[in-house]
Copies of this chain bind each other. A is one copy, B any other.
Amino acid sequence: MPTSDRPLPERSLDPQDWEAFRALSHRAVDDMVDWLRQRDDEPAWREVPDEVAEALSEPLAPGGETEEAIYADFLETVLPYSLGNTHPRFFGWVHGSGTPIGALSGFLAATMNANLGGRAQAPVLVERQVLDWARELFGFPSGSGGILLSGTSMATVVGLAVARHRATGGRDRVEGVQDMPRLVGYTSSEAHNSIAKAFELLGLGSDALREIPVDAEGGLDPEQLERAVREDRAAGHHPFAVVATVGSVNTGGFDDLETLRRVADRHDLWLHVDGAFGAAAQLSPRFAPILRGIDEVDSLAFDFHKWLQVPYDAGCVLIRDGELHRATFESRRDYLTSQESGAASGEPWFCDFGPELSRGFRALKVWFTLRHYGTERLGQMVERSCDQATRLGARVEAEAELELMAPVTLNVVCFRYRAPTASPEELDRLNREILIELHEQGLAVPSPTRVGGRFALRVCICNHRTGPEDIDALAEATLAIGQEVSGLVAV
């Protein structure tokens, strides 16, 4: 092994003792591999004890501490108190579980410490390659735009910023929107709150996002959409975008993209898709038909860190019109001019396709994950998640003391324990108590929601580690706790 003969390592921040650092890193590998391998032996969640919370609010020691001491603290105060989304019985919210290869690629990326804003470097090519794979997967043309972002929230901000740029004829960047006709958009009443937050950030306001009711199939009702567009236009507003949802967060519902495309074309609307987790259905031959039309939308936002199991954070937006994408964000000053060759070459630069100039190398973990598992195995994993949801749905329907709160769609199950004589308010209280017991006993982590105004236990399986025995364990624990707790609740 060659070693640098560079003198005086102590003047830099590099280790004084490289071999001690190497040994610590090897120890960390063993600890992390063991931890990942033994997730099932641990509770799905555990509360942070008071003394740990206190340790994690200490002031900073100005003189520094050894790597070993900090690592020991990490093992004691941080690692045991994760939310549990690496555990097979974590079903809460919409959380990916991550993978060992994803963890390792996080180490490689942090070592290279690449800034993906642009310039001539292989990491930029890795991100371009990942985006090409995404284009291929969703049927986007090769000239289309795209960029990795922290997640679907930011991807939706970028998609709608491009839509705004188109709607204003490119004037928004210089003039802003203040002196323009009111830009209004449309989404379903089941849409995620990140859509409204994007409208807020962009200066359009949440009032400018019309919530259209869903139809009998749970998708955005195209007739009511048409009516709303006509009314807005009659009122002098400027309808500019419709945001479709593929995989609604609460119940897993899907909008019909082909129908929405026709409506959007008729009214010159940008069609943006929130596919945060649901876009992963594209990998499954069984479920891909539910996404029919996704190759014809104007922009698609989705996450690699949810159902596709890339470690946090990694989202993506694809924009059909690559030139418009660039025109929305491109900005250079003297210190950002590029050259024909050398380190300052390598156009186009990613900083011209989004709001971030410095950008981490999240592309590497996507690259490792997609290459290692391939689309086939990831598609099978998606189907297996749905199989577990189906299993849970069937079990809930088979148990007199359990009931479904919404039809099972794809990977989402909303259900509750029921006690026939309990009032609606008592049932809410009872199920909230069951949820907290499931968490606090470390048995499983569903998340709380409301369906039709009533409290529900929500199970969203974006977890490659979940198997049938985990589903059965959840059902049995819910029944057992429900029976125990309902004895305590005034019914």
Contact = CB atoms under 8 A, between A and B. Distances in A.
A106 B111 contact: yes
B14 A311 contact: no
B52 A122 contact: yes
Interface stretch (A216-224, A264-272, A375-383, A417-425): A375-383
Looking at chain A, what size class is its interface with the partner chain? 35 or more
A137 to B, nearest CB: 8
Contacts of A287: none
Interface stretch (A198-206, A474-482, A483-491): A198-206
Contacts of A6: 40, 88
Contact of A343 (B107, B202, B344, B445): B445
Interface in A117-169: 119-123, 125-126, 128-129, 132-133, 136, 150-154, 157, 161, 164
A95 to B, nearest CB: 6
A341 B441 CA distance: 12
* Copies of the polypeptide in the assembly: 2
B177 A335 contact: no
30 contacts: A11-B384, A14-B37, A21-B100, A45-B342, A45-B343, A48-B125, A57-B129, A62-B375, A67-B372, A70-B372, A83-B120, A84-B343, A92-B343, A96-B113, A98-B111, A106-B106, A107-B107, A114-B312, A150-B360, A157-B201, A157-B355, A172-B203, A174-B207, A250-B333, A305-B358, A312-B360, A334-B451, A341-B439, A344-B435, A344-B447
A114 B305 CA distance: 10
A370 B53 CA distance: 19
B28 A121 contact: no
Most B CB contacts (10 A, CB to CB) among A67, A105, A202, A313 go to A313
A108 interface: yes
A201 B177 CA distance: 10
Interface in A457-481: 458, 464-465, 467
Contacts of A177: 176-178, 203, 205
Nearest to A102: B110
Nearest to A6: B40
Contacts of A365: 110
Given A29-B25, A126-B56, A178 B161 contact: no
A347 B462 CA distance: 24
A126 B305 CA distance: 21
B114 A342 contact: no
Contacts of A97: 113
A249 interface: yes
